[in-house]
Amino acid sequence: MHSLEAARTASSTEAQQVFHPPLETKSQLLTVCLTGAPNAGKTALMNALTGGSFRTANYPGVTVTLSRGKSKAEFGSQVLLVDLPGVHSTSAVSPEEELSCRVIEGRHNSVKPDALVVAVDATQLERHLRFASFVARQHKPMVIALTMMDLLPRAQQSVSVSKLEAAIGVPVVPVDGRTGWGAADLMSALHIALANPVTRQSALVSVPEEPVSAYQSIRDLLAASGALKNSNQFLLARDSFTARIDRVVLDRYFGFPIFFAILVGLFSSIFWIARPFMDLINWLFSQTGHLLLALLPPGALSRFLAEGVVGGVGAVAVFFPQIVILFFLMTLLEDSGYLARGAALVDRPLSYLGLHGRSFVPMLSGFACAIPAVLAARTIPSKRERLLTIWILPLMSCSARLPVYALLLGALLPGAAWKAGMTLGVIYVSSLLVGALVAGLISRLILRRRTASLLAMEMPVYRKPLLKPTLRMTWSRASAYLKRAGTPIIVISSCLWLLSNFGLGSHQPAPADGTRAPLVASSDLDHSFAAQLGQTFEPALHPMGVDWRVGVGLISAFAAREVFVSTMAIVFHVSEAADTQQQRSLLENMRTATFLGSSKRIFTTSSILGLIVFFFFSLQCLSTVAVVRSETNSWRLAGLQLLFYTGLGYLLSSALVVSLRFLGVD
């Protein structure tokens, strides 16, 4: 190691004498691609090198889009880093592998690597070096980042970095992306490689492409180098930490109970842990609203800020703790390595439905948000299984539905948190079962032609997730979610407040002093723009048993489902504000809300159940439609999906309400 570093320093000085450091003289940054087999620790490395947060997980194939970032300034001249999806096989099977190979071979239109960093798992040198040989054949500057060094003792192996480097003729730098150890060394090795494009021929270049002889030649290379010591696969298979955990979590009797217990624990802890934080946020927003009303001069502006902006945003912000906890637990599960076991467990039932074991991770992500889930479906090798997975993803009960269900269940089952929790559990499980049913029906009735399908999935070793990277990842996911959902929520709640508080002047009661009414005047809800718009489509809502105010909420929810909650806060707060001075909580307002001009309540058992069914099926998320279009490259599938699920939601919801009322359930 010491001589190695000395050599590196020497060549670095030499480089500075001979060349100008190329990175600083160019205005455009050089592009460095991070590559490697799936699960080699690329994304953690990306985190360490850029100091930014990217998706990283202990599940094969989590990097599904090309994430980019600048290297940290403290590592010297900055380069543009691009994290490529993991590649198992260079005879590319899945679209993401093909994408990576295209970039590495320089066939990609926009990403042209100037140098490549290959992440190589120290415990699986043969397989990972074979991929490195594919990269070496491109004759670009390259550096090998040797990851998973901390797992070597567990695998009862040791790797000599200097011997390995000498044998393959490519700079090798041990790193741990999760802690950032070795990142600075890696960057300086990279700078040297970039400054000296003409290096000696790597031994990896002569490794043949054909797999059988390639593996043999790498094995010979490693044996000759003496870099690898004491590899005891026999012991590893039976008595390792991972083998012991696998014997329990994949046990014939306990496997599925543990699997379901983990999922139930995941979703129930979301509600238990989040409660105090939700109360706090609720209190903060209502105090802010009071404060604004007290501080600002009374009038339309102060009410707009207090009710429209603060009230609307607060109604959704209250669910942020739940979303953060969901993302945190999902990240933990991914990083631990359990998700791959889950995928193996459910491969058989899923392939019976025409899906794939790998559909499990997109489906589970779908419970957080359909957008990353649709992207994660790229890891599914066969097109038929991939499209079918994408087709059922909008059914998975995403976190945007959570605020809606929480509100509706609060109205349906007042004062019984555990009953609401149980019902929510039923909704989550049903969304999975209905998704399975839809997939099964489609694969049996429509997509009858089966195509080739391969599982052959790596099961990574278990690793204890580190707290800091997990928290960083949680925050990056949650804040991305907040950014995506936040803007439409603020814009729509502001617009709705204005629409429901102003109306055409001619529709308002005539002023007492006989002056002509202005064109647009402050209005009560019944005579507002929202009322006029809403009443035009009210007949369509009759079967669902709700009035136009709920209809406005349903329409606005197409921007994002959770907007429904803030819309309810605005339309019902506004309409009830007249008869009460104190701010009442949204739930109480909803409970007492009646159809205009009658004493009939809007939110009854049947109409709330109808709304839940509507939200269960309906694809009320234009972002999902957009991402499905870009992933499948066709408007047809995306449009069909939108019409199918929204139509289904409307029909089933109406059918439920009508039949419940027929049976005497109001």
Partner 1 sequence: MSLLDALHNKWYRVEDVAGPDDERRRLLDLGVTPGEELVVVQSVPLGDPLVVMVRGMRLALRRREASWISVR
Binding residues for partner 1, per CB under 8 A? 88-91, 93, 123-124, 126-127, 130, 155, 211-212, 215-216, 231, 233-234, 236-238, 242-243, 246-247, 250-253, 255-256, 340-341, 343-345, 347-349, 351, 357, 452, 454-461
Compute the least distance from the CB of residue 365 to partner 1, in Å: 20
The single-letter code of the amino acid at 156 is: Q
The single-letter code of the amino acid at 173 is: V
Q: What DSSP line would sit under 211-225, residue for residue? A: HHHHHHHHHHHHHHH
Compute the least distance from the CB of residue 462 to partner 1, in Å: 10
Nearest to 554 by CA among 486, 650, 640: 650
The helix/strand/coil state of 157 is coil
Q: What DSSP line would sit under 537-597, residue for residue? A: THHHHGGGT--HHHHHHHHHTTT-TTHHHHHHHHHHHHHHHTT-SSPPPHHHHHHH-B-TT
Compute the least distance from the CB of residue 363 to partner 1, in Å: 17
Nearest to 324 by CA among 371, 273, 286, 361: 273
Compute the least distance from the CB of residue 61 to partner 1, in Å: 13
Structure-token pair, residue 371: 């957008």
Checking phi first, is residue 516 left (phi over 0); if not, alpha (psi -120 to 50) or beta?
beta
Structure-token pair, residue 200: 């000696």
Compute the least distance from the CB of residue 216 to partner 1, in Å: 8
A 10 A CB-CB count for 151 gives 18
Q: Please say which residue, 125 or 574, places its beta carbon nearer to partner 1.
A: 125
Compute the least distance from the CB of residue 221 to partner 1, in Å: 15
Q: Please say which residue, 243 or 422, places its beta carbon nearer to partner 1.
A: 243
The helix/strand/coil state of 89 is coil
Q: Please say which residue, 155 or 203, places its beta carbon nearer to partner 1.
A: 155
Q: How far apart are CA 254 and CA 260, in angstroms?
A: 10
Q: Please say which residue, 12 or 160, places its beta carbon nearer to partner 1.
A: 160
Contact call for residues 336 and 464 (beta carbons, < 8 A): yes
Compute the least distance from the CB of residue 127 to partner 1, in Å: 5
Which residues make Cβ contacts (< 8 Å) with residue 495, sequence separation at least 6? none
Contact call for residues 572 and 622 (beta carbons, < 8 A): no
Compute the least distance from the CB of residue 381 to partner 1, in Å: 8
Q: Please say which residue, 181 or 215, places its beta carbon nearer to partner 1.
A: 215
Q: Please say which residue, 36 or 141, places its beta carbon nearer to partner 1.
A: 36
Q: Please say which residue, 58 or 67, places its beta carbon nearer to partner 1.
A: 58
Q: Please say which residue, 250 or 655, places its beta carbon nearer to partner 1.
A: 250
